[in-house]
Amino acid sequence: MPVLHNRISNEELKARMLAEAEPRTTVSFYKYFHLDDPKAFRDRLYVDLVKLNVFGRIYVAKEGINAQISVPQSQFEAFKQHLFTCHPAFDNIRLNIALEDDGKSFWVLRFKVRERIVADGIDDETFDPSNIGEYLKAEQVNAMIDDPDTLFVDMRNHYEYEVGHFDKAIEVPSDTFRDQLPMAVDMLKDDKDKKIVMYCTGGIRCEKASAYMLHNGFKNVYHVEGGIIEYARRAKEQGLPVKFKGKNFVFDERMGERISDDVIAHCHQCGAECDNHTNCLNDGCHLLFIQCPSCAAKFDGCCSEICQTELKLPAEQQRALRAGRENGNKIFNKSKGLLQTTMHIPAPKDASSVD
């Protein structure tokens, strides 16, 4: 049996990826289907994808698969053919090709077995994730977005919504999908007669959310097919107006894809117009927040003066300060503010959930 994990350091793997001459294609896909033995499936597919030099992040569970990967362009057709035939559920599975892509999104293949492909917190055995709402294509999205009897609901985290969303979309303000599901039901409990359109980055969260809304008594539930990525691609291909404003946050090195020229967010430090996410450069923090170029220079890429001071200490002192303390809250939240987020509050367990 070949080794099914990586034995090379992240630093060396990233350097190798950056040195590659061949372009890569960044792609995401998901599928809800039943797997009797997720570990055996993971082991087989891992070996096959390593042979094709695929990098990325893939989760499998008894309920299906969720993947964000990059594939060498010369191997892309071989990858598609293998994927489409390796399991009956993957026959012509939809692949969301990245809108803005330099091919440098991943440098290693991480392939994990999980309880769920998206952490949802649902423990109701009567819930059927296959009973989903109706798919909407780009032209249907545009037709419904101006309908006063239709509500668009953003099923992404608050920091994703902050940099980009559909016109008049409702934010479900939370760091985690598991919290958003009951919140959405409660927020919309008086609107059960309206059309409810759920959307997310690539479709995986809003598809499950549509099933959850149906499970909770909503009747007219829809979700955007392929999420923001597929909507924007199809709208541009068909010459349709793009109703999504700003950036689409993505969970890889890019941290965002530009959908429109609108900048709807602001620097978390000075308030200037800005929608560039970054991670605090202090190894004891790594807070995800929005920072403009001026503040990046002023604070040395840190989220606060506290982290800036710590960053300038000798490496030994930095390690001593980090020892035995909780890492910072990974995500900036307006309700907490930057000062509190540097006080090393434990981060939400599924704050890194991907779509």
> What positions carry a catalytic annotation?
200
Q: In this structure, which long-range contacts are made by residues 324-329, counting pairs with CB atoms below 8 Å and at least 24 apart in sequence?
A: 325/284, 327/284, 327/285, 327/286, 328/280, 328/284, 328/285, 328/286, 328/287, 329/287
The residue with tokens 């033995």 is 37
The C-alpha atoms of residue 136 and residue 96 are separated, in whole angstroms, by 15
Please state the φ and ψ torsions of residue 134, each to the nearest 5 degrees.
-85, 135
Q: Which residue has the tokens 């117009």?
A: 273
Indicate the DSSP class of residue 108: S
Rg (CA), the chain: 21
**Residue type present at position 340:** Q
Check: CB of residue 29 under 8 Å from CB of residue 96: yes
H or E element, residue 72: strand 64-72
In sequence order, which residues have a C-beta less than 8 Å from that of residue 248 and are 6 or more positions away? 99, 160, 164, 201, 228, 229, 232, 256, 257, 259
Given the DSSP bridges, would you call strands 195-199 and 221-224 parallel, antiparallel or unpaired? parallel
Contacts of 224 (CB under 8 A, 6+ apart): 135, 136, 141, 197, 198, 199, 200, 203, 206, 230, 231
Residues 6+ apart with CB under 8 A from 354: 57, 59, 66, 68, 251
Distance CA 189, CA 266 (A): 32
